[in-house]
Structure 1
Amino acid sequence: MAVFCSNCGKSLTDDARFCSACGRPIYVAAPVYVQTRLIRPREGRMIAGVCQGLANNYHWDVVWVRVVTVLATVFSSGAGLIAYIVFWLVMPEEPLALPPVTTYTQPNGS
């Protein structure tokens, strides 16, 4: 991928951190995350997996999601609890991981 300085337009190498012509730092774009469908995972959940699912999907720390949920429940007269229940009903649960299917062949015996 060709990299160009945004200040002077000089062509740079892919591993350059500064422009060799003007000295301006080169910023690499943050990695792009593909947003997937919200699901409630089976691993790491405490009650129904809503907070864990939100944290997984948006790349947040699950502890902070749980703290915000509790604070929203306490300080909004239960609106956080209602939102949690709505997410519980709307978010599908992660499908079970099934073992690979093996075909059984009858041994030829006489």
Structure 2
Amino acid sequence: MAGLVRPRHGRMLGGVCAALAQRFGTSANTMRVIFLVSCLLPGPQFLLYLALWLLLPGEKTATAAW
């Protein structure tokens, strides 16, 4: 199983919602709606998003085998 990485395709801002959607087997749009609704509740959701954006590695492109 691959680790949690931000995909190169299908992301809007940083790819955090797309990465979480891949991890939990849902669509990226569903994860985005969940995030936006959670922002209506008190808590550090925006800071968590920024932290995940900084900490999650980006998906690497495929390189030619030598």
Same fold (TM > 0.5): yes
Find the partner of 1:80 among 19, 40, 45.
45
Q: CA offsets, 1:15-51, max 9 Å, x none?
A: xxxxxxxxxxxxxxxxxxxx43100000000000000
- Tell me which residue corresponds to 2:15: 49
Give TM-score, length-normalised by structure 1: 0.53
Q: Distance in 2 between matches of 1:90 and 1:76?
A: 23
Number of residue-to-residue matches in the alignment: 66
Structure with more helix by fraction:
2
Q: CA offsets, 1:51-83, max 9 Å, x none?
A: 000111221121111011111223225x22111
1:54-73 → structure 2 map (5 Å cutoff) = 54-73=20-39
The yes-or-no answer on 1:95 pairing with 2:51 is no
Structure with higher RCO (Cα < 8 A, 6+ apart): 2
Unpaired segments of 5 or more residues in structure 1? 1-34, 103-110
Identity, % of aligned positions: 30
The yes-or-no answer on 1:39 pairing with 2:22 is no
